[in-house]
Structure 1
Amino acid sequence: MVVIGSATDSSSPFGKRLAANDKKTRDKAVKALGKWVSTKKEFSHLELMKLWKGLFYCVWMSDKPVVQQQLSETLSSLILKVPRSSVMDFIATFWQTMCAEWHGIDRLRLDKFYYLLRRFLFYSFRMLKENDWDLEAVEEYTNVMINGPLNATSQKMPDGIRFHLIEIYLEELEKSVDVAHSGEVPTAHVLAPMFHLLGHTINGKVFKMVAEDVFESILKKTAAGEGEDSDFEDETDLTVFDKDEDEDEADENEDEDEDMAEDGEGDEAEAEAEAKAMAEMETEMESEDGEEPSTTFDYDLIGIRERLATVAADEETVEQNRRKVDVLYKAYQDFCPLDEDEDDNEGEDEDEDEDAA
């Protein structure tokens, strides 16, 4: 069980107040924190680690769905106030804290932390948007995710967080930018953590989720947006896994969050009511903000196709994943065929390989 008192060493001058039992004290600390973050020029890594420790317990202590949701919004939006020189470390220490504390979260508190992860991902994308999707910033951010919660091999990263991020990655990306400007998003670069998972995970469930919830989903969204102009007819061509394939493995990798319940896990009806309230408020907030995901988001299909080819050919790609990545690549190739110049270049490369052999 998590010991609330362990937050007392958090970042001065906010640590004790952020984790206080009194809501008014916590609210004042959060309000002061926003001003402090926006005026401070630089943060040390230790300061940020202590700060997120205190903020974690601030969320832990929050009651009532409305309060929890408002707090998640406030804390996540701090990403836009942190100085550029520290923002990536601010993001990295958030994920480091979440991953370190995740197994101590009881089932009744999971929903509010899932919502916090969702809003934090959204504001991370919004930060990249405010930086005009600068490729250097995008690479810095995706490296944070690859080395953190979406690392394919680290045992320190909870699968519960991995699964949730995979499920919501496209949703939050689509919410972060107007559809009219979605073509400006370098999606092949933003999806770098997903390519990393495709190539390096040995968890069949993780691979399947990335293939279906990210890459197959992009094709289906694009095809739906093109309507009658689409040549895409048979969705079964995009299915990387057979229905029954890896069924046993999926059972073995069942979300470990189900095993987190502690002695005081409480009434299941109360948990369901809490989850329902959170879902309703999230839908209401998205509706008010006009941030509903669009099926016509302009994904860089050619760039994604090329990255899939790179993953399939990479010698470091897990062998059991290679064939399946190639299936995804061919699905993208069928959807957006190589043009004549690319065909010629590909043929020249093959001839060079043959000559070299």
Structure 2
Amino acid sequence: MPAAVSRKGKSRAAPVEDSKPEAAMPLGKQLAHTDKKVRDRAIAGLVAFLSQGGDTEGESSSYVRLDDAEMAKLWKGLFYCFWMSDKPLVQQALAADLAELLLQIKPKSASPEDRFEASVAFLEGFWDSIVREWAGIDRLRMDKYYLLMRKYVNATFRLLAREKWEKDAVVAVNRILTKNGGPMTWEDRRVPTSIANHIADIYLDELNKTLALPEVDSQAACPLIAILEPHITLLTRTSTSTVHTRLMSSVFTPLLESLTLASSSIAVERDAERPSKRSKKADSMYAHIVMHSCVGEEGQSERSNPTALRSGLLKRMFEAASNEKAGESNRRKVYQVWREEGGDDDEDEDDE
């Protein structure tokens, strides 16, 4: 009888103790695995690895950033891990998981500054890898890397919202985009212009989605002109006419139109002057950007009205075009937009 009890006891599954994920770079095949449980374990290990940073002994009380060589090696592995993910659902899930890492990294110091530094370091590694590996992406894989870029742009906006759109945070992200060799640089002609073009295509869409989130809506207003600074700089300094045209058609023209439509007095005046040029899109185009943005260098509790946002954007475009580093052709084009949009009239509008 005791033996039977013993056998019955052995047949029971022993409880599995929850263990902390190992802080290590997971294998690419684990990250791209079709089994979600395997992918989740790999992502958890990667979060722990990134949260630990360069402190391999776990002794530092603050975050120690990975050096550039280590970050490049890490992202080369992640880049080609994503390369090997062939099934659409796995691609979408992995793109979302990799982008979400920006918000999951949490150094043990629990310092908000350390947490943001760790996230920004990983973001910089992402864009560096995109620029470095872009020329090798074949046509069949291009769409999935466009998807990954979209996920990272969205996660970046949510990261900035978590930081309450503070000036230093916005400047840090803008520096990554516009630095020499960055995806939106105007100085390094080795960087493919298709990267900046795609960022322009998705920027307003992803910002509008972010500002529509309940947890973001209740926070400080987004400093719209500061967020658009990389695009404004590139618009006036690029030596490639197609980039200038793309920025106008994807960012500035639709945004100015949205702000015009939201400014009733300006909209009535413009419709009377050029009714054929009114957009076929709904008046709510980029509604959350219009409703939850402000003029200034960082987030504010007060939202700015559409007229003030429009005036501030036109003024900043004019200032950037006036800079000595602006291209002469770009300067003329921006001045023309400024005149057509009534920049000299709007500049004196007060922010309500």
Find the partner of 1:210 among 241, 247, 268.
247
Look up the SS of the partner of 2:202 in the other structure. Answer: helix
Could you tell me which residue of structure 2 aligns to residue 155 of structure 1? 189
Find the partner of 1:59 among 61, 82, 92.
82
- Corresponding position: 1:32 with 2:45: yes
- Corresponding position: 1:294 with 2:281: no
Counterparts in 2 of 1:340 and 1:115: CA distance versus 1, 3 Å = closer
Counterparts in 2 of 1:313 and 1:21: CA distance versus 1, 3 Å = closer
How many residues in Structure 1 have an aligned counterpart in Structure 2? 279
Q: For the aligned residues, what is the CA RMSD?
A: 3.1
- Whole-angstrom CA distance in 2 between matches of 1:134 and 1:14: 31
Q: What's the % identity of the aligned pairs?
A: 30
Find the partner of 1:86 among 94, 118, 122.
118
Counterparts in 2 of 1:224 and 1:313: CA distance versus 1, 3 Å = same
TM-score, normalising length from structure 2?
A: 0.70
Higher relative contact order (CA 8 A, sep 6+): 1
Counterparts in 2 of 1:108 and 1:324: CA distance versus 1, 3 Å = same
The aligned amino acid for 2:290 is F
The aligned amino acid for 2:134 is W
Q: Which structure has the larger Rg over C-alpha atoms?
A: 2
Counterparts in 2 of 1:113 and 1:17: CA distance versus 1, 3 Å = closer
Could you tell me which residue of structure 1 aligns to residue 165 of structure 2? 133
Find the partner of 2:199 among 165, 171, 183.
165
- Corresponding position: 1:14 with 2:48: no
- Kept after mapping to 2: 8 A contact 1:77/1:123: yes
- Kept after mapping to 1: 8 A contact 2:102/2:155: yes
TM-score, normalising length from structure 1?
A: 0.69
- Kept after mapping to 2: 8 A contact 1:215/1:328: no
Counterparts in 2 of 1:31 and 1:183: CA distance versus 1, 3 Å = closer
- Whole-angstrom CA distance in 2 between matches of 1:81 and 1:20: 16
- Whole-angstrom CA distance in 1 between matches of 2:349 and 2:34: 65
- Kept after mapping to 1: 8 A contact 2:321/2:331: yes
- Whole-angstrom CA distance in 2 between matches of 1:340 and 1:15: 55
- Whole-angstrom CA distance in 2 between matches of 1:100 and 1:236: 44
Which one has a larger percent helix, Structure 1 or Structure 2?
1
- Whole-angstrom CA distance in 2 between matches of 1:295 and 1:232: 22
- Whole-angstrom CA distance in 2 between matches of 1:85 and 1:15: 22
Find the partner of 2:270 among 232, 235, 242.
232
- What does residue range 169-180 of structure 1 map to in structure 2 within 5 Å? 169-178=203-212
The aligned amino acid for 1:163 is N
The aligned amino acid for 2:46 is L
- What does residue range 301-340 of structure 1 map to in structure 2 within 5 Å? 301-334=310-343, 337-339=346-348
